[in-house]
Structure 1
Amino acid sequence: MSFLVKHLPLFFTIFFLMFNSSIAIYNIKNYGANSDGKIDSSKAFMSAWGAACASTSPATIYIPQGSYLLKNAYFQGQTCKSKSITLRIDGTILAPSDYNINRDEENWIKFERVNGVSIYGGSLDGQATSLWACKTSSNNCPQGTMGLTFSNSSNINIIGLTSQNSQMFHILVDNCENVKLQGVKVSAPGNSPNTDGIHVQYSSRVTIMNSRIGTGDDCISIGPGTSNLWIENIACGPGHGISIGSLGWEVQEPGVQNVTVKTVTFTGTQNGLRVKTWARSSNAFVKDILFQHIVMTNVQNPIIIDQNYCPNNENCPHQGSGVKISDIKYRDIRGTSATEVAVKFDCSKKYPCSGISLEDVNLSYKNQPAEASCANAGGRAFGLEKPNSCL
């Protein structure tokens, strides 16, 4: 892929800014931001946002090259006059390396009730190494902050952004409509706790494409209330794979439906394609899911449905999962498993899985066909069957 093609979104943005004089541009340096990465620039970011928000025309907040320390920032959009605000990032935005500074904060950078916000390029660095070390050696540590959050928002674009070393989830999409993430890179060590790459919940019409994600938790996690989600051309690893769930913690909980995951490579991950639900009563559901054109390389659990999810055997009444799972299609899944059982469907005794479809699955373990395990699962397999289907 040529440099020009790879960076087309950024070139289009620059061209648009240069030749469209109706766009108001707000450079954070003009509001006092310091690019040495040592002086807190939070006030400058908020001032630039306030100016862009008040603009009656499309507005761009420009973050030039350099490193900008940002304690935290909550961008509110309820009163914005501008219907199109772009953050064009050429530099790196740094979180405080001292995790105690944001000890009581849930979010580092949060956009709340915004419409028509786009982020192009740049890097976010959560600098979470010291927090992870604390969690490894002590129980007296803060939970940590989410990296970049969009909440109760619509018509969002995130293109060419890099997010690394977040304290917790790198990117959270919560209660949003029409969100597109393209060309995103997420990175954190494989042993970093709760550092999910992209988490989507209570949201509809979300697209995640052409991205590379390596973390200490799920590359992409899909929470309750997610519908019409499209995931395509993703490289995942290290991490825990792409997971629907965990679901069913609450008795009254919205389900997950109409999810497509295609053209994904998993390399050395704990899981590949996973659905997990708590062994608790719930009215949640998972239905109309398509996994297609997937390549596994040394993945511990390439295909897994776990309806008895219960870490440390805590908070589970062992009464069976109430989450109803139906109509999940696996098509053209191939590669290698790091364990003998490459396909595992451990479904609910109370509500067995139904409508599972396996088509052209070819997974091996140590150059031999792998195995499959089924419990309370119904469906069919056709085409290539390696391992032999247990449905």
Structure 2
Amino acid sequence: MPLDNPRGFLAALFTQAVRAADPLEAIRAHLPARPAGRTVVIGAGKAASQMAQAFESLWDGPLDGVVVARHGPIAACDRIRVLQSAHPVPDQAGLSAAQALMTAVQGLTPEDLVVALISGGGSALLPAPPPGFGLADEVALNEALLASGAPISAMNVVRKHVSMIKGGRLAALASPARLVSLVVSDVPGDNPAYVASGPTIPDAAGREEALRAIRDYRITLPQTLLDYIARSETPRPEDPTFAGHESHVIASARLSLQAAASASREAGVTPLILSDRIEGEARDIGRMHAALSIEFQAGRRAGDAPMVLLSGGETTVTIGANGAGKGGRNTEFLLSAALDLDGTAGITALSADTDGIDGSESNAGAFCDGRTAARIRSHGHQPRALLAAHDAWTAFSLSGDLFEPGPTGTNVNDFRAFLLG
């Protein structure tokens, strides 16, 4: 029974959610028709090597190409070159990788096919500063965006205006070849133009929207970058260059939550999907989830089946002037929830990034229950102080609640589950 091993049950739901976003099955269902000419594969993101490996195994014709993954373990490919660069802050390797992608799509014909394998994380992996700017400018931009607390969609609107590859520019370079983008979405709402800042997909977000995001989220940027954004523009969707291009979201948080819900029903647990597009400050969203859990728990009657609340999306963490300790948005979310669940019986929660890495360490997220805060205090630390210092990894390391499944090879945003027994 799930209540006999609540953490094992929640970990199994995470596995089902990740399996629903498996690149092999997702790509199998969206293979394009073979072209008369060449097939060139490009791509970027946390799932890039796994997507490339899957595409190689499924494609029955000749192909070549290059994709960019983050530093760390990668899936082996025979015909597609896999380059690696840094995430979340760009590095020199990313400059070379972005140039390799741009070179790969040049000189093609209308008889050729370009397949773009895009997943979350590609924004940082593909630094390609415009003329007059360098890597240091992209690093400054990314650091300012990460510290701002802006949602991923707003960050990527800004990023694509300071790039030679994002915002559909890579697709423009591939013209006149036919281009098909296969996208594993990590953005709430699943707009493919926002995933990895849309290197192969133009969108209608103009420079006014980028400047509005900078103003609304109080993003502090050097004046040179602000001046450039104010006069830059991305390719427009109606540009004839993009005629005939296709894009398909092949995996998303919604599909993963539905898979977890199905697994819950099979185990005799009633699922409720709150939303797949929850955004906001991680600590605030954590308190909201705790409040909902307590409310549903209070309304339960003896004999009711166990219940699990599921949600997805991407929260944010706003870093103040004092900096941050260790952790990511999932552990910050859960530490905030743990404080409100302190002393509550019958509720166990898991929050984890579906790519297997939450923030700066090797864990995907963490578990918590009504005794987590007490376990942290038993080690001589105050959980509220650790939350204020954005040091949630330390808190869950002390309490023994870290969740470490390892890199998953996909990325459809955050997975949250609160089991009510």
Could you tell me the TM-score, scaled by structure 1's length?
0.27
Higher normalized contact order (CA 8 Å, seq sep 6+, divided by chain length): 2
Point out the structure with the larger strand share. 1
Point out the structure with the larger helix share. 2
Could you tell me the TM-score, scaled by structure 2's length?
0.25
